Structure 1
Amino acid sequence: MVTAPANLVPLAQFASALRSRMRGPGGYYNSGNALGLVVGFAIQIADAPVGLQEGSAVITAMMDHFAGSRGTVALTLATLVFFCGGEAYHRAWARQDPPDLALNRLGDFLSGLGAIGLGIALLLLGDPLLAATSGLLHALGKFGSTFHTPGTQVPVWPAAWPDPFRSAVLASRLPAILAAAVALGWALQEVWLGGSFAVLAMPLTLLGCYALWTRADLLLFGVGIPRQISTC
């Protein structure tokens, strides 16, 4: 019998844990959350004034990134709530049977709270359009999913159409995706004119985050998976 080298065992365990994490929407949501958080913080550190001592620069960058203003504080709190929502989704979908409906609803509820915080943050940061879509519309979709029983028809909503609340969450992402795509276009133009490739980091990261979050949204529709949320 052939056994794997001892130094490959931790790698195999990590790969197994990662596959388990990505089984449902929670892994995709929190992967996007972590990606945006880490890259955003790294960019903040990279932009720190050169004159500051190294330790002081990192601390200052950390404070500015997470609590530099009322808007960033609201964004930090919203991100923490989103992480909790992602964990609730992960636990709901961790078993092989249909996802746990109560935990799935908890994920929806926490995501709705996070969306409210995100909307407040975007409003404080001077972006009312994204506050209305990524915040208010997203929260409407998540809270609607919290209290709506899957498979039950919503009044005035055609039964043949996709779930209206899950659809609202998807729709809430479109303006932000468009904004990130436009930002990427401007960044590419800047690079073409001789600018630094670093300007591509944030728009590419945002598009990557939205790809992960959209994948999670679609999983909650039941698209691409063999199991459905049980309403029994």
Structure 2
Amino acid sequence: MIRVLLVDDDAIVRAGLRLMLGGAPDVEVVAEAADGAEVAALVAAHRPDVVLMDIRMPGVDGLTATEALRARPEAPEVLVLTTFHTDGHVVRALRAGAAGFLLKDTPPGEIATAIRTVAAGDPVLSPAVTRQLIDQVTGGTGHDVLAATARARLALLGEREREVAEAVGRGRSNAEIARELHLAVPTVKSHVSRILTRLGLNNRVQIALLVHDAHPRNPPAGRRGQDGRAR
């Protein structure tokens, strides 16, 4: 069974999620919280595998709670489920170590599938926020410094580890990386684990973000001034 902690200040939303997840034979809701301040104690008491986390709550918000939770050893995976999805909140949640970001209008069956996915150690992003995430990590201001910092961190890896990290950044699965680099899947998993440890990261999403930071894309076509230079 995948043990789930629900964190949302709306009791009706929590009741709906509990009812919906009750139809999943491999998912069990073990506790509920109405505020991020309650998360640490409930995680210690119930040891969930996945925390389904709202963002906007009256006391400690979900992003702050995620940052605090994922900084702890042996933390459960965090799947953000919210109606509030500005660029900055998506990126902050993922950089904090959240394994996924879904909107509350996601179909019930897909929420259960996402819980299974993050419990297995794989990332999940709602299609509605994927474009925002890409734009946030590949455009905007200050990216020369961001790119230089990210490249310096990747330089701490061995050659094969960097190849695996780059493949993770391209969205490849372990099986796809194994085929591309002519490695066994367990070897790829070992490389990913070493990358996470060496760079102090929590999951594959953070590896992908670091790779994107190191290789920012050119500005989109069409955004040019009269002198022909990209704006």
Q: Same fold (TM over 0.5)?
A: no
The structure in which a higher percent of residues are strand is 2
TM-score scaled by structure 2?
0.29
Q: Whose helix proportion is higher, 1 or 2? A: 1
Structure with larger Rg: 1
Provide TM-score, normalisation by structure 1: 0.29
Higher RCO structure (Cα 8 Å, ≥6 apart): 1
